[in-house]
Amino acid sequence: MFIYIIRKLLNTIPVLFGVAVIVFVLFNLVGGDPTYQMLGRHATASQISELRHEYGFDQPKYIQFTQYLKQIVTFDYGRSYATKQPINGMIMDGIGPSLSLMIPAFFITTILSVAIGLWVAYYRGKLVDKVVVIFCVFGMSLPMLAYILFGQYYFAYKLGWFPISGFETTWPERFQSVALPMIIFIIVSLGYDVRFYRTAILEECNQDYVRTARAKGLSEPRVFFKHVLKNSMVPILTNVVVQIPLLILGAFLLESFFGIPGLGSITIDAVHNSDFPVIKAMTTLDAMLFILGNLATDILYTLVDPRVSLK
């Protein structure tokens, strides 16, 4: 397994290099020169030239790209063009608010959707199954923005159950800040997750070993937990672990509408301001987290399914 992990980690190098190339090319093709934005409309030619020199925009592209690669290796992206804040500090400040929202939302969604998945799988074809599937499809069909606009207006403004927006750093006020976006996240995610888990569980329910287990007289809970659920863990794990990077990277829309200063909101602002260093950092972080997430999934497969081995 150790060699497998090392090999996987080494594989991240060409992946990250590819990400770096794409990000660099995209921003040099469509990003525009940030100098004009930074200096405003009064800027003179000499000021523009000075700033371009200061930020190294006047260097050949290959040198700029080498600098970018160096930043990836050292994970030091310097400072934001827009706010002049150190990017590592911005990321550290943003992780907390993002996780405050995403960790509880993610856990509740996962537990709830697996439970509902089991429940409707049990009642497959019955009215309850059909109703849940209809609700799932309905939930998936509405964009998150619709939930946000309705939730903010009705539950926060009209009923006053939640703050309309804003983020508190202290507890339990922080919980209050993230409660409504968390519920919206859960509702929006449930549709997809329940359908996915239902399908995964039903796949297993049709297997021969389930029939054998029942023929041997095992109780239904034992059949379900000991055999069906365990065998369903591979797709469940895949779906769960692949979402872990998103916990850290935050939820763009939710953070933006609810004023949560997380990484999602930082990324949105960076795109809006063409803040290249922040986008570079977030894209690289994104890629790294996905690679690590995939690696973790592979390792976890071996724990839940003895037939899987890492070579």
By CB under 8 A, the residues from 101 to 140 that bind another protein are 104, 108, 111-112, 115-116, 118-119, 121-124
Q: Which residue has the tokens 């301001």?
A: 273
Stretch that binds another protein, among 6-14, 59-67, 147-155, 292-300 (CB under 8 A): 147-155
Which residue type, as a one-letter code, is found at position 127? L
Rule CB under 8 A: say whether 48 interacts with another protein.
yes
Q: How far is CA 1 from the centre of its chain?
A: 27
- Minimum distance, C-beta of residue 237 to another protein, in the bound complex (Å): 19
Query: Of these, 16, 213, 228, 234, which contacts another protein (CB under 8 A)?
Result: 228
Stretch that binds another protein, among 45-53, 65-73, 280-288, 290-298 (CB under 8 A): 45-53
- Identify which of residues 50 and 305 has a Cβ nearer to another protein in the complex: 50
- Identify which of residues 35 and 291 has a Cβ nearer to another protein in the complex: 35
Rule CB under 8 A: say whether 24 interacts with another protein.
no
- Identify which of residues 102 and 291 has a Cβ nearer to another protein in the complex: 102
Contact 186, 112 (CB under 8 A): yes
For the chain, the farthest-separated pair of C-alpha atoms sits apart, in whole angstroms, at 86
What's the helix, strand, coil split of the chain in %, to 5? 75, 0, 20
Query: Of these, 3, 41, 216, 307, which contacts another protein (CB under 8 A)?
Result: 41
Q: Which residues are registered as beta bridge partners of 79?
A: 86
Contact 71, 88 (CB under 8 A): no
Residue among 281, 302, 291 at smallest CA distance from 71: 281
Long-range CB contacts (within 8 A, 24+) of 3-11: 4/298, 4/310, 4/311, 5/295, 5/299, 5/310, 8/291, 8/294, 8/295, 8/298, 9/295, 11/291
Rule CB under 8 A: say whether 162 interacts with another protein.
yes
Rule CB under 8 A: say whether 231 interacts with another protein.
no
Residues 67-96 that bind another protein (CB under 8 A): 79, 82-86, 93-94
> How many residues contact another protein, by CB under 8 A?
84
- Identify which of residues 68 and 167 has a Cβ nearer to another protein in the complex: 167
